[in-house]
């Protein structure tokens, strides 16, 4: 009985995917317009995109930019967030600046950054970096703030220096919260990646998507939507697995993404 | 002591902002960047003040705000509704949970071309995109808030004779309000960002459109103005939501 139940809960997301595709199929058949192909037609166009070398290079370039920008953002944001969570001085120094920049659409900076850095990789990676940083900083801050004082006192009593306490007590204790932030950041990285490539049409998955929209190749548009959507779902699921493994000791149960912004 | 601490905090917080503006001013006034690429801050803010008084700019703000609110309201209604339903009923939960699991990490911007083709270039496609993006944080935080409600509260309400149908609105919903508002805050910021992006992609009006037009004609000053405006709008709306939160939660133990 329990095995059946776990099987069903494992398969549920898959069933949901199939259900959504089914709704799409029915809706397309009912509406029956040129600009809205059925799910099957769109799925049929997927292999031709994935088989095309040019598109593969484009998608690969997107993923590479995203990976680099995401890693750099983590390296910068996690220490900053932890320090903000532990030191009131650091927190009040950076807080207002972050508050002002929070509602700025990061991808909207693209046209301005393009003026300075050109349309190349650096401009796009900078935009992704900015988009990822804020949620990671915020969640690291929350995690570091919630660390029990007593643990830090015991660490200090046992002769750990302040930087050692940071790495050996605060970082692991805040890890579940940090990883929540990373998950949010990952989704945002994907969103910013697509938008930045849409604005600077030079290479990448977003470029294929919006160029085919402009050229009226609707099959390609919907196939690209499926591919990008699958990328999002796949990356999220993979990260969730990694997260569950890393923080097995913390309370389980958050199998849904808690927030993403 | 407390007030003094607060003033130091504020002063300390102004430092990096002042430094950023000073750096901006220095770069443009020492000629490291030509005015066409990086206009000095004075020029940008003067332009902002001047634009705020013109009718066309106010109209653009109005259009953007309308789309933002329409999308955000739809997201709040659907998010709170589905969130509560999923927390209350196992049957709804069994359907909503996997669907959310699939749809939440999907980058919604990628759906925008499909929305454009289906709903046209007007308000509808933008409002739908805003609603789709703001929906999930609100739905999830409602769900968590409602499922974390202490069972004892529900039991006591039932023991006091509250009918089952009313427990939802008299116990669960109020207890979940802090969490719902946190979700709304995230959703609001997302709405600001998304409405701007949608207007940048294809639009004939709104703040995002102003940015794109300025970019096409290389008017750097006019590129900064809509960006600063949307940031200000975000801050103002966030402040209003904080005020609403303080008012709604005036009886709660911790805010």
**Per-residue model confidence as pLDDT tens digits over B192-207:** 888 888 888 877 888 8
Pairwise CA distance, residues B85 & B79, whole Å = 10
Residue at A182 is within a domain: yes
Q: By residue range, what is the domain housing residue A49?
A: 37-246
**What is the homologous superfamily of the domain B40-248 according to CATH?**
MetI-like (1.10.3720.10)
Residue at A253 is within a domain: no
Which residues in chain B are contacts of A194 at CB distance < 8 A? 107, 109-110
Domain boundaries, chain B: 1-33, 40-248
Q: Is the CB of B144 less than 8 angstroms away from the CB of A221?
A: no
Instruction: Tell me the backbone φ, ψ of residue A203, rounded to 5 degrees.
Output: -155, 170
Residue at A4 is within a domain: no
Residue at A21 is within a domain: no
Structure tokens of A189? 């990285």
Residue at A260 is within a domain: no
Overall number of domains in chain A: 1
Q: What is the pLDDT along chain A (261 residues), one digit of tens a residue?
A: 566 777 777 777 788 888 888 888 888 888 777 777 888 888 888 888 888 888 888 888 889 999 999 999 999 999 999 999 888 888 888 888 888 887 787 878 888 888 788 777 888 899 999 989 988 998 898 888 888 888 888 888 888 888 888 888 888 888 888 888 888 888 888 888 888 888 777 778 888 888 888 887 888 888 888 888 888 888 888 888 888 888 877 665 444 544 433
Q: Which of B2, B87, B101, B229 to mutate to test binding with chain A, by most A CBs within 10 Å of its CB?
A: B101
Q: Which residues of A237-258 are buried (b: 16+ CB within 10 A; e: fewer)?
A: eebbeebeeebeebeeebebbb
Q: Is the CB of B94 less than 8 angstroms away from the CB of A12?
A: yes
User: Angle at Cα A26 formed by Cα A20 and Cα A29, nearest 5°?
Assistant: 140
Residue at A186 is within a domain: yes
How many Å lie between the alpha carbon of B174 and the closest alpha carbon of chain A? Answer: 20
Pairwise CA distance, residues B62 & B56, whole Å = 10
Which residues in chain B are contacts of A111 at CB distance < 8 A? 211-212, 215, 223
More confident position, B252 or B75: B75
Pairwise CA distance, residues A76 & B88, whole Å = 41
Q: Is the CB of B189 less than 8 angstroms away from the CB of A94?
A: no
Cross-strand partners of A144: none
Residue at A71 is within a domain: yes
- The CATH number for A242's domain is 1.10.3720.10
Q: Is the CB of A259 less than 8 angstroms away from the CB of B14?
A: no
**In this predicted complex, what is the ipTM?**
0.80
pLDDT tens per residue across span B159-203: 888 887 788 888 888 888 888 888 898 889 888 888 888 888 877
The H or E element spanning position A157 is helix A149-157
Pairwise CA distance, residues A194 & B107, whole Å = 8
Nearest C-alpha in A relative to B113: A213
Q: What is the pTM of this model?
A: 0.84
Residue at A6 is within a domain: no
How many Å lie between the alpha carbon of A88 and the closest alpha carbon of chain B? Answer: 8
> Under a CB-based contact definition with an 8 Å cutoff, are residues B96 and B245 in contact?
no
Nearest to B186 among A99, A112, A261 (CB): A261
Query: In a 3-state reduction of DSSP, which class is residue A203?
Result: strand
Nearest C-alpha in B relative to A111: B215
| Sign for the pseudo-dihedral over CA of A124, A125, A130, A131 | positive
Which residues in chain A are contacts of B183 at CB distance < 8 A? 259
């Amino acid at each position: 009985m329990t095995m059946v139940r776990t099987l069903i809960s494992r398969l549920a997301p898959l069933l949901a995917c199939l259900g959504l595709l089914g709704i799409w199929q029915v809706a397309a058949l009912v509406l029956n317009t040129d600009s809205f192909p059925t799910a099957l037609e769109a799925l049929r166009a997927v292999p031709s995109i994935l088989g095309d070398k040019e598109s593969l290079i484009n998608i690969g370039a997107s993923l590479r930019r995203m990976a680099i920008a995401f890693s750099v953002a983590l390296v910068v944001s996690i220490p900053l967030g932890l320090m903000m969570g532990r030191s009131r001085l650091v927190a009040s120094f950076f807080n207002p600046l972050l508050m002002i920049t929070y509602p700025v659409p990061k991808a909207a900076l693209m046209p301005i950054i393009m003026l300075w850095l050109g349309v190349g990789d650096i401009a796009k990676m900078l935009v992704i970096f900015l988009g990822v940083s804020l949620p990671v900083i915020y969640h690291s801050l929350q995690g570091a703030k919630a660390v029990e004082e007593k643990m830090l006192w015991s660490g200090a009593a046992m002769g750990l220096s302040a930087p050692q306490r940071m790495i050996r007590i605060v970082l692991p204790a805040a890890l579940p919260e940090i990883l929540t932030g990373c998950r949010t950041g990952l989704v945002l990285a994907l969103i910013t990646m697509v938008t930045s490539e849409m604005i600077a049409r030079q290479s990448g998955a977003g470029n294929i998507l919006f160029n085919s929209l402009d050229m009226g190749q609707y099959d390609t548009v919907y196939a690209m939507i499926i591919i990008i959507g699958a990328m999002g779902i796949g990356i999220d699921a993979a990260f969730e697995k990694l997260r569950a493994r890393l923080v097995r000791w913390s309370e389980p149960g958050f199998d849904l993404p808690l927030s993403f912004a | 002591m407390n007030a003094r601490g607060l003033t130091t905090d504020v002063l300390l917080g102004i430092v990096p902002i002042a430094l950023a503006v000073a750096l901006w001013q220095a770069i443009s006034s020492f000629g490291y960047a030509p005015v066409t690429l990086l206009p000095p801050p004075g020029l940008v803010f003067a332009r902002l003040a001047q634009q705020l008084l013109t009718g066309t700019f106010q109209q653009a703000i109005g259009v953007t705000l309308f789309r933002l609110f329409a999308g955000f309201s739809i997201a709040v209604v659907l998010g709170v509704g589905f969130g509560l339903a999923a927390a209350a009923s196992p049957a709804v939960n069994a359907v909503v949970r996997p669907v959310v699991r699939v749809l939440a990490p999907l980058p919604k911007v990628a759906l925008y071309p499909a929305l454009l083709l289906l709903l046209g270039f007007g308000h509808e496609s933008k409002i739908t995109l805003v609603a789709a993006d703001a929906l999930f944080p609100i739905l999830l935080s409602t769900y968590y808030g409602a499922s974390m409600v202490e069972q004892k509260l529900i039991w006591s309400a039932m023991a006091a004779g509250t009918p089952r149908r009313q427990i939802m609105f008299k116990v669960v919903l109020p207890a979940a309000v802090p969490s719902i508002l946190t979700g709304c805050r995230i959703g609001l910021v997302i709405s600001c960002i998304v409405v701007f992006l949608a207007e940048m992609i294809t639009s004939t009006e709104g703040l995002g459109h102003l940015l794109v037009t300025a970019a096409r004609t290389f008017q750097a000053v006019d590129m900064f103005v809509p960006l600063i405006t949307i940031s200000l709008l975000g801050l103002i709306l966030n402040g209003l939501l904080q005020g609403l939160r303080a008012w709604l939660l005036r009886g709660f133990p911790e805010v």
